[in-house]
Chain A
Amino acid sequence: MAEPPVEYIRSITRQYAKLGYKPYGWVYNTDAPPWQPLRKPLKQCRVALVASGGIYRHGQTAFHSKDDTSLRLIPTDVRTEDLRTSHFAYDQTDARKDPNVVFPIDTLRGLVQEGFIGGLTEHAITFMGGIYSSRRVREETAPAITERLAAEHADLALLVPV
């Protein structure tokens, strides 16, 4: 029988208390989220992949573990075998075996080939989601991503957290 989803907020809050950390400042957004209707059919849309699993490619600087708010631009014609992960807060075993589990680049390239989506932006955008300061995410990472999505002429953004 199906079990209910894992309650991560409750279990992490309990774990922090046990380790003697101050409580983590979970983000609760109570306002209605902004809404932009899709303006054209999927098969005409240019899709931007945005992933927070610490993906970089061989030759790029990796991520660090102390509130790293930087971004990487991954060319969407990247060779899958050049993809790497650098993240301290999830088990990277499967992501390193097949990056598509957190960075579905081959999946999306396949759907472009099928004509299911129109295409991909020139670059995917990646970062390392283990940033403890939600203020820095709001003030640094998020605006940089938004700016880049506009520069890439994305019709829609697909966000893949871990």
Chain B
Amino acid sequence: MTMSSALDITRAVNPPRAVFNDFPLGHTAGKPLDRRLQREIMVETLSAFETMRTPGSIKTLPFEWSPDHSWKHAGAGEGDNRTDRTEEPTYQTEDDKTAAAEGKLAEECIACSKWSPDAGARRSAG
């Protein structure tokens, strides 16, 4: 089952089963800290496993982000986010970077980047 907030992209990809939740991108499974809504979305989503019979169908979930739909005109993806793409991991915090360097959880990483500052610098120079 695929959850989705981008109906046209999910139609194009055509997964076996999907649910469409018409929320802004980055909120596929609900609103932050709204446990009740998050639970309702998940119950609807998982229940579809028992009701869907047709490969490629998409069930629209009965939730609304807000009565006001202005978020749909907010200009998603207006900026240029393709610049500065590098193999250097982007950490949420500096502390995460330090913890990752200890390598204690390396076995939880499949095909992780072997990036190091030196290798990164060499690549940029090349």
Chain A residues engaging chain B, CB cutoff 8 angstroms: 2-3, 5-12, 15, 19, 21, 26-36, 38, 41-42, 45, 47, 53, 56-75, 84-86, 88-98, 100-104, 106-108, 110-111, 116-117, 123, 140, 144, 148, 156-162
Q: Which residue from B41, B89, B106, B109 sits with its C-beta under 8 Å from A64?
A: B89
Q: Closest B-chain residue to A83, C-beta based?
A: B92
* A-B contact list, 8 entries, CB within 8 Å: A6-B6, A9-B9, A27-B12, A35-B16, A63-B89, A72-B109, A84-B91, A90-B26
Q: Is the CB of A101 within 8 A of B6?
A: no
Q: Is the interface of A mostly helix, strand, loop or mixed?
A: loop
Interface size on B, residues (CB 8 A): 73
Q: Closest A-chain residue to B86, C-beta based?
A: A66
Chain B residues engaging chain A, CB cutoff 8 angstroms: 1-9, 12-16, 20, 22, 25-33, 35, 38-39, 41-43, 45-47, 49-50, 55-56, 64, 69, 72, 76-78, 80-82, 84-93, 95-97, 99-100, 102, 104-106, 108-113, 115
